[in-house]
Amino acid sequence: GVLKEKEVYFSDLIGRYFWYLNGNYLVVFVSIGIILPLSLLKNLGYLGYTSGFSLSCMVFFVGVLIYKKTILPCPLPFFYEHESNMTVNGPHLDPHAPVHSAVQFTPHPEDVEDMCTPKYFVFNSQTAYTVPILAFAFVCHPEVLPIYSELKDRSRRKMQRVSNLSILAMLVMYLFSALFGYLTFYDHVEAELLHTFTKVYKFDTMLLLVRLAVLTAVTLTVPIVLFPIRSSVITLCFAGKEFSWIRHILIAAAILAFNNLLVIFVPTIRDIFGFIGSSAATMLIFILPAAFYLRLVKSLPFRSPQKISATIFLVVGIFFMIGSLSLIVLDWIHNPPGSKGAH
């Protein structure tokens, strides 16, 4: 209780006298000082260097995650926070030491086996977010044409190799992050993996570097995602007009302002990924490609295997979008974002 009161006191002290350390202000500063200048570049090719650096930051994140898995024991102390048969012996936690070195446990062997045994399938209220987040993670369609236009000696075969290599690299990193994150915390892993480590380490230099690396990677990725969004807005609203720097800057600033509002007012990134993954990502991956194929390809009869497959793809996408959105909305009703029941 005393430790918690001190944390609240220092948090209020930092918020009052070190306002520039507030996360909301930092989001605005980084958006104006780093993201906006990179977003004002006229061509996407210049962002290749920042993209490569952000990829190396994520490789560092995965490496540290694997290392932490090898040194953290199981079960960890906070696994027992909600257990009724908890048996704990030891002093209060030292905020400067790893939790597992400060507390000694004498748990029942059955509890240890249950907590430290991976489960292949877990179905709960959070399952509705799983597939939408996976769909959102692999939505790279908007960047295909801008990247293709920047390739030297471009061809469909070369673009296919770039796509295969990029998707494979992302798949490996996502897979390792999810696998070792789960094998470290099991059922107690949170929506934001790095936040779960704060329950184990109060202060850890390596984890602080990982947080910085992830923030850098996300920051440098935003201009790449913003580029095709702005191109689409210009094509839809200003088709046929000459390039204008004023229009170029204002559209980028408006998109970043909207992103900042989402970051500041939405409690967890899981809600954004889940909602967009089940709506926009589903449209881009399942519904729109199948609908365009059925509408534009006139040379094949409707009963051909290709059009039957596209129809099945379209129907599955529609049912998936309706079902996942319904489950997510129901979860928001029962566990409002930001409440204690939503993890």
Q: Binning pLDDT at 50, 70 and 90, where does residue 110 land? A: low
User: In this predicted model, what pLDDT tens digit does every residue of 131-165 receive, in sequence order?
Assistant: 788 877 777 777 777 778 778 888 888 888 988 88
Per-residue pLDDT averaged across 121-134, rounded?
Answer: 77
User: In this predicted model, what pLDDT tens digit does every residue of 62-102 receive, in sequence order?
Assistant: 999 999 998 888 877 776 665 544 444 333 334 444 444 44
pLDDT at 11: 57
* Partners of 89 in beta bridges: 104
pLDDT at 253: 93
Query: 25 or 318, which is more confident?
Result: 318
Percent of the chain with pLDDT over 90: 9
* Partners of 104 in beta bridges: 89
**Are residues 343 and 190 in contact, defined by beta-carbon separation less than 8 angstroms?**
yes
User: In this predicted model, what pLDDT tens digit does every residue of 288-330 receive, in sequence order?
Assistant: 888 998 888 888 888 888 889 989 989 988 988 888 888 888 8
Q: Binning pLDDT at 50, 70 and 90, where does residue 60 land? A: very high
pLDDT at 254: 93
pLDDT at 95: 42
Query: 144 or 176, which is more confident?
Result: 176
pLDDT at 89: 39
pLDDT at 313: 87
Query: 8 or 168, which is more confident?
Result: 168
pLDDT at 180: 92
Q: Which of the listed ranges 83-87, 172-176, 303-307, 338-342 does the model predict with the highest average pLDDT?
A: 172-176
> 0.85 exceeded by the pTM?
no
Token pair for residue 85?
Answer: 């048969």
pLDDT at 80: 65
pLDDT at 256: 92
Per-residue pLDDT averaged across 201-226, rounded?
Answer: 85
